[in-house]
Amino acid sequence: MEPRLARALERRAPLFASADTDAFRLIHRAADGFPTLAVDRFADVLVAHVYGGGAAGRAPSALLRELAEAQKARAVYVKRRPAEASRLTEQERAEFAPAAPLLGEPVDELVARENGLQYWIRPGAGLSVGLFLDMRETRRWVRAHAAGKTALNCFAYTCGFGVAAAAGGAARVINLDVSRSALEWGRRNYALNGLAAAREDFIFGDAFDWLARFGRRGQRFDLVIVDPPAFSTTRQARFSVLRDYAELAASAARVVAPGGWLVACANAAELTLPAFHKRLRAGVVGHPARIARATHEPELDFPVARGENPYLKVAFVRFETAA
């Protein structure tokens, strides 16, 4: 086996041994010796991410075939990562993320496990297949802290955080996203795990708009999760993590109940950890809040290459109880 590949798989040995998780990253770019390649495992299907070269970027077919054989994978799908996915047309998306696999037979849908919970994965459904694996430990934290709490999951996508909170015994979870199809996917994830949820707890809409509505109503939540894309465009506005995070944090802070938590996430390599914390502190200024803990991707399968910033930043912000 290619030595770099062998080392990468050896590093993930504890994940291979896990009885309750079969979804994690096998290769993480430069940290594993492959600067333009990352590969995710979802049960018995692999999803490779190729960086650089645009829609014509070449996937390392021989290496992926070797990895697929070692993993006994049913199929390997390829996603060629654009600089900014939010600006792609539908035709461009199809070119960057072909619906057909590079290797193996087509797999329309499969179930992957993470920390004992199950999620529907659609490996051929565009650039995002249903679950962002770098959030595994953050979802674990949410599940561990959700019992009896009310939770608001902004930018919910397929409701991974919502599933984790509900499984952890949350009293109520509201999932908010600008995609109706993603929310429906999330409802299926709830059902897959035997979790009950009212249809009105899956809200289609813009996060800034709904945070303002909740604020005007005086509605507060014990746990507020904000995990925005680095860039997004809606009918109401354009959002950039670098430019707008302080405003987002301010909007979220207004709806956190006394004694509650804000789980603030940012996905952008160019945003350093100090810069992220500066924006976050600017957003919660005037509130009795402090960053109780900060983290990034799981070290085991998302190691940070020497000289690089972590792509993901997560801060757990604790709001003090009223005096």
Per-residue pLDDT tens listing for the chain (323 residues): 889 999 999 999 999 999 999 999 999 999 999 999 999 999 999 999 998 876 656 788 999 999 999 999 999 999 988 765 556 666 677 778 889 999 999 999 999 999 999 999 999 998 899 999 999 999 999 999 999 999 999 999 999 999 999 999 999 999 999 999 999 999 999 999 999 989 999 999 999 999 999 999 999 999 999 999 876 655 556 777 788 889 999 999 999 999 999 999 998 888 888 999 999 999 999 899 999 999 998 999 999 888 888 889 999 999 988 64
C-alpha to C-alpha distance for 232 and 267, rounded to whole angstroms: 12
The arrangement of secondary structure in 133-319, i.e. its CATH architecture, is: 3-Layer(aba) Sandwich (3.40)
Residues 103-153: tens digit of each pLDDT = 999 999 999 999 999 999 999 998 899 999 999 999 999 999 999 999 999
CATH topology of domain 3-106: Transcription Regulator spoIIAA (3.30.750)
Q: Does the fold of domain 133-319 match that of domain 3-106? A: no
177-207 pLDDT, tens digit each = 999 999 999 999 999 999 998 999 999 999 9
pLDDT, residue 222, reads 97
Q: Note the pTM of the prediction, 2 decimals.
A: 0.92
Q: Domain spans of the chain?
A: 3-106, 133-319
Who contacts 207 (Cβ-Cβ below 8 Å, separation ≥6)?
A: 154, 155, 176, 178, 226, 228, 248, 251
